[in-house]
Amino acid sequence: MTRESYLQALQNELGRRGIQSSRVLEEAQGHLSDAIEQGIEDGLSYEAAEQRAVERFGSVQTVAGQFEPAGSRIAIWAAAGMALTLGMAWALFSRRWTSLDVLGTQNLLVFAGTGILLNLTPGQDTMYILARSVGQGRRAGMLSVLGIASGTFVHTVAAALGLSAVLATSALAFAIVKLAGAAYLVYLGIRLLFHRRHAAQQPLEDAAEDSWAIYRSGFLTNLLNPKVALFFLAFLPQFVAPSASSRTMTFLFLGAVFMITGTIWSFVLAWFGSVISSHLRARPSTRSVLERATGAVFVGVGVKLAASR
């Protein structure tokens, strides 16, 4: 496929989805031109350089999907949040707390409300998601959210099985996990600070790493934070009823509730960060600055985690 045919297909796909195409096509034209020039510098013929540029840029469906209007999804999240808020308000005023206690839980709505407030409080995960979204776009932010949610699930299972108690009772184990997490964040930050690449080799609205690398980074930054493990170990048991038939199942249920509310809020953060990113990353030089700023944030969070007690 030639550059012209690719741009025409992209324009058709954007029109089909009702997306304003002028800005996207302008950016795509610039990226493809730079990529072709780079291919020629690498010793390729014009045709081969053009083919490589189009292949690296991604399918028209993928590129167009990154600019899909987010209004409908925001409306869904807003409706879900409103329904949850109204449900909590109804329970408060009707004083029917126990009617919603299921699977061996107690004061479930108190747990949900407290969890929402804790998720709204800025912390390491919040900084990480915002840094990824602003520095590398919506796709990187969303993948980071999924990685962090997966790490939260592992912490929930560990707390349910009593594995997190090892961190609570062993200062050495706590320090090892904490320093490993801090070192990993610093490593990610240094990679972004000193990574060199041609702007043409970066697909539109894409991150420096592939999808798996971004997801894995979010997962490991959450998993290697021992404070998350201790939080689950201290917080969840308060909402497990003494009469619970299976404490393990109750732990898992409470962890799922906390993970769902946290993931919804994290998606909102990622979307907000990507909106800022879309306005700032129009030029390759700006993208480079944002990625280095993201790296600086990662290094700062890693140092803070290492210095914390």
* pLDDT tens-place string over residues 65-124: 666 554 445 555 556 665 665 565 555 555 544 445 667 888 888 888 888 887 777 778
Q: How confident is the model at residue 4 (pLDDT cuts 50, 70, 90)?
A: confident
* pLDDT tens-place string over residues 6-60: 888 888 887 887 777 777 777 777 778 877 888 888 888 888 888 888 887 777 7
Residue-level pLDDT at 61: 74
Q: Are 168 and 296 members of one domain?
A: yes
Q: How confident is the model at residue 277 (pLDDT cuts 50, 70, 90)?
A: low
Q: Are 128 and 235 members of one domain?
A: yes
Q: Are 16 and 145 members of one domain?
A: no
CA distance 74 to 267: 10
Residue-level pLDDT at 65: 66
Residue-level pLDDT at 97: 47
Residue-level pLDDT at 173: 72
Q: Are 35 and 136 members of one domain?
A: no
Burial of 297 (0-12, 13-18, 19+ CB in 10 A): buried
Q: Are 22 and 97 members of one domain?
A: no
CB distance 53 to 30 below 8 Å: no
- Determine the Cα angle at 166 with ends 164 and 171, to 5°: 120
Residue-level pLDDT at 51: 85
Q: Are 148 and 211 members of one domain?
A: yes
Q: Which residue has the higher pLDDT, 278 or 216?
A: 216
Total domains present in the chain = 2
Q: Are 131 and 163 members of one domain?
A: yes
Residue-level pLDDT at 198: 45
Q: Are 129 and 240 members of one domain?
A: yes
Domain span at 53? 3-65
Q: How confident is the model at residue 205 (pLDDT cuts 50, 70, 90)?
A: very low
Q: Are 26 and 93 members of one domain?
A: no
Report long-range pairs for 242-250 (Cβ below 8 Å, ≥24 apart). Answer: 243/104, 244/103, 244/104, 244/105, 245/104, 246/104, 247/104, 247/160, 248/160, 248/161, 249/103, 249/104, 250/103, 250/104, 250/105
Q: Which residue has the higher pLDDT, 214 or 118?
A: 214
CB distance 250 to 104 below 8 Å: yes
Q: Are 53 and 196 members of one domain?
A: no
Q: Are 41 and 139 members of one domain?
A: no
CB distance 145 to 221 below 8 Å: no
Using CA atoms in the order 307, 212, 273, 222, what is the torsion angle rounded to 10 degrees?
-30
Q: Which residue has the higher pLDDT, 207 or 47?
A: 47
Q: Which residue has the higher pLDDT, 189 or 197?
A: 189
Residue where a domain stops, chosen among 65, 81, 98? 65
Lowest mean pLDDT among 37-46, 267-276, 299-308: 299-308
Q: Are 162 and 20 members of one domain?
A: no
Mean pLDDT for the stretch of residues 241-254:
83
Residue-level pLDDT at 179: 81
* pLDDT tens-place string over residues 139-187: 888 899 999 999 989 888 888 887 766 655 677 776 777 788 778 778 8
Tokens of 292: 């280095």
